[in-house]
Amino acid sequence: MPRAGLTADTVAGAAADLVDEVGLDGLSMGLLAERLGVRAPSLYKHVTDKADLEHRVAVLAMHELADAIRDATQGLSGKDALVAGAQAMRTYVLAHPGRYAAGNAARLTGLDDPLLPAVDRVMTSWTAMLHGYRLEPAQQVHALRMMRSMMHGFASLEAIGSFQLDSDVDESFAWMTGFIDRGLTAAADHRNAADART
């Protein structure tokens, strides 16, 4: 019988906490079992294997990230939404580097994969951040990829302590979000100018 109170969700939650401490590569069924106070074979009553466990952590992480961005940007638009959403993502990555890494490493296994709606929620949150810029639909994909690349890169590098220069990291982050805002504004202005000429 499975240990009372232990479920697939509680096992995934404990694994998420563990990878934030030891990194995704440091996760093992034995270490997790020790953390939960059970024998490793007991975990297989709740998850199929380590790959399944990592996938469950990824799903958890994407839902948490979507919640963080949604909550931070509620009622905001334009630059305010961009800055709030970017800071929410940065804060999440710094607080949960292991589970965020799991979310980025995971790959969809099919249309019924619970990772799909979780990732869709993150994309919806990012799309909402762009809404105030009134970009053309074709530009939105490029803008989303640009935002993800810049925010992911900054937060991931900060999480592993890669910023060694004396300049204030918060100032660099503000400079980056300001740069993104000006670029998105310029793209929207270019569209408006083109529309005015037609």
pLDDT more than 90, % of the chain: 84
With contact defined as beta carbons under 8 Å apart, do 168 and 106 qualify? no
Q: Is 175 within a domain? A: yes
Q: What is the pLDDT of residue 2?
A: 44
Statement: residue 198 has pLDDT above 60: no
Helix %, strand %, coil % for the chain, to 5?
75, 0, 25
pLDDT in tens, 28-67: 999 999 999 999 999 999 999 999 999 999 999 999 999 9
Per-residue model confidence as pLDDT tens digits over 78-124: 999 999 999 999 999 999 999 999 999 999 999 999 999 999 999 99
Residue in 194, 188, 184, 19 with CA at minimum distance from that of residue 101: 19
Residue 182 has pLDDT above 50, yes or no: yes
* Residue 8 domain flag: no
Is residue 122 one of the residues assigned to a domain? yes
| Higher per-residue confidence, 17 vs 197 | 17
* Residue 11 counted as domain residue: no
Res 190 pLDDT > 80: no
pLDDT at 167 over 90: no
Average pLDDT, the chain: 92
**Side-chain-side CA neighbours of residue 115 (13 Å):** 18
Q: How many domains in the chain?
A: 1
Short-list 19, 18, 160, CA closest to 152:
160
Say if 22 falls within a structural domain.
no
Give me the domain span that covers residue 162.
Answer: 57-196
- Sign of the Cα pseudo-torsion (76, 82, 88, 89, in order): positive
Query: What pLDDT is stored for residue 189 in this prediction?
Result: 72
CA distances from 71 to 62, 80, 117, 146, 159 (A): 14, 13, 18, 22, 22
- Mean pLDDT in residue range 156-160: 95
pLDDT, residue 137, reads 86
First-to-last CA distance in the chain? 71
CATH number, domain with residue 163:
1.10.357.10
In this structure, the number of other CB atoms found within 10 A of the CB of residue 150 comes to: 15
